[in-house]
Structure 1
Amino acid sequence: MALLNHRPLLSIPSLHSPRLKPSARVSCFSARSNSVDAVELKSSRKEYVPGVVDDIFMNVFRSKMVEETGWDSEKPGYDGLIDAAHRLMVGRSNSEATKASVRILRSLFPPLLLDLYKMLISPIAGGKVAAEMVARVTAISCQWLMGTCTVNSVDLPNGSSWSSGVFVEKCKYLEESKCVGVCINTCKLPTQTFFNEYMGVPLVMEPNFSDYSCQFKFGVSPPRPEDDSALREPCLHICPTANRRKEVNAAMDVSRCPKA
């Protein structure tokens, strides 16, 4: 999930130092052209170490999840957060889980702030200013949740390019949840909805379920559900539920995550 904070953006230029070749980052669904790209991607990954401020963000976010579900895990730290994310899926349809996650995101911001951003910032320069701004704040403030992030350029449908992308090298949230459905219904879809409807910034998120990377594209509208390949993904090979299902019935079809 993408969270924002309001720290000054004076140190933002450092985010432009490329870690990956642009061709390897713009689309996380694009195939790697050769083994060199794969080696560069693997070697660039450095685990993000959360600080005190990150712990505050996590605790606030977790408290909002607890308010929504009325349940909290006994596990401390990030493990408890992941338990809470799974709890969001219990007793809810996929669409209900998505709506609940949108409510959690909205609860993190004063309503007036969201309204003012959508009204005053989002229209500037055809949306470019708002898209590039939220990309930088997301990369700064959300590494505790997703891991190492970098700002990169994305191609828009009109042929132009904006520095409004955020590349997550290996999403901790996806890897720790071990579930395509949790990724789709508590992160991808609600985050896209939140930015588009409540901040006036179109967003498409492209998770790669093979290497757990993810490409955020602010300023780009998401595809229709029937055209979104992420919604047709099979269960992850690390999914314990899928593995148990296969143990019970070897012929059982796990070609699509039942939670997605």
Structure 2
Amino acid sequence: MFQSVLDYFESIDPILAALYATLFTWFLTAFGASFVFFFKNMNRVVLDGMLGFTGGVMVAASFWSLLAPAIEMSEGEGFIKVIPAAVGFALGALFIFGLDKVLPHLHINFKETEGVKSPWQRTTLLVLAITLHNIPEGLAVGVLFGGVAAGIPEASIAGAVTLAIGIGIQNFPEGIAVSMPLRRMGMSRWKSFMYGQSSALVEPIAGVLGAVAVTFFTPLLPYALAFAAGAMIFVVVEEVIPETQQDKNTDIATLGFIGGFIVMMTLDVALG
């Protein structure tokens, strides 16, 4: 089945493939959000474990799918070879850091508000928080497909599809993490679902933009891959991991992280 998927993606334009792949990641977010139609509450232990899993997938994807290829395709030796990855990684982290300070958003625990002060409702602020998470994820998938379009040997359809599968898997609990708190606040099931799935609509946009940018500016690819990695790592360290430490489920969250890392590493090595 995986080979059939690869054959299909190889037969279409890579930018269109980036759109389809990121629509898949959005769909899994929507699937997670749809659980609000069946449950009003999600056990906090389960949620922390799933968020830990999300962090593990993102960290593994950052190295195996983004940083390692970025270093491999860079020219030169020694310190020269790692400069594009180092610069891109730093810029990606600083990009999300800047957005984090400017864009008003609310953490999942509904206690910490960040960014400039805003009269927006808490529901909007929560969706914006998860949207911040999804920008680097869509970008990561897009730049890999852009590398394929540019003919970079280190960028493969298999690697791009594998990354999309991994990102999609970890998007599932993110959909739950948005919709369930909104339902507990008294919002209707339908509105909770709509807010939950809308947080990932930025992924297809970021994916296509990333693919187009790399296609037209091929030398950017190592920087772009590392940029997406830096952005993802910043999100994990600043948002995802601290969120799992709010209650007394740190062991569950840590095991979830390890499990997510293993799953993504296995997918990337076995399929990518």
Q: Which TM-score applies when normalising by structure 2?
A: 0.29
- Structure with higher strand content: 1
- Structure with higher helix content: 2
Q: Which TM-score applies when normalising by structure 1?
A: 0.30
Structure with bigger RCO (C-alpha 8 Å, 6+ apart): 2
